[in-house]
Structure 1
């Protein structure tokens, strides 16, 4: 049985994210985790609101960058592999992901 994503769309191809990109995104996500832990600690220590909001803004920016990288990789994957898969379906999925990102920004 093929591995399926949680939303049961087409399985991601092996070339979707390179090993280097996975390391890059994992490092970015680790930094976000560290920032979130720091924010929790700041709240527990009753630190100034502006300090907390500055850190929260940094987390949001980091997550937006991660999202942009993922969408960029998805679109590049679509452009290079459209011949292997139903191009319209893959492009539609990519555009839905982009729309979701923009809606939640």
Structure 2
């Protein structure tokens, strides 16, 4: 069962979800490091842009997983009033993320 943060009221993810997201973020960090090396090596723009697009897609997948987990939790465990508030907050965060991409 996810734990609630005492300060924000947000729900922490289950341990398997945390591990999975951290693994994905570690791979993204490695990918960013590779792109930095490509810049230092003065690789062509086409190669850089292709790799940057892959990083953005990977971050979008992480974002979708976080929102999906939050919405699933709302639908299965929150009371009606709390579910509405959490759903609205998750959708606002998703909308904000999509506007920036």
Q: Unmatched 5+ residue regions in structure 2? A: none
- Structure 2 CA distance for aligned equivalents of residues 55 and 36 of structure 1: 9
Q: How many residues end up aligned between the 2 structures?
A: 97
Flag as ranges the 4+ runs of structure 1 deviating above 6 A: none
After TM superposition, the structure 1 = structure 2 runs for residues 23-102 of structure 1, keeping only pairs within 5 Å, are 23-83=19-79, 86-102=82-98
* Larger helix percent: 2
Q: Which runs of 5+ in 1 are unaligned?
A: 5-9
Once the 2 structures are TM-superposed, how far is the Cα of residue 87 of structure 1 from its aligned partner? 2.6
Distance 2:80 2:10 in 1: 12
Structure 1 Cα separation of the partners of residues 11 and 54 of structure 2 = 32
**Structure-2 separation of matches of 1:3 and 1:44:** 44
Distance 1:91 1:53 in 2: 34
Which residue is equivalent to 1:3? 6
Secondary structure, in 3 states, of the residue corresponding to 2:61? helix
Q: How far off its partner does 1:84 sit?
A: 7.6
Larger relative contact order (Cα-Cα within 8 Å, sequence gap ≥ 6): 1
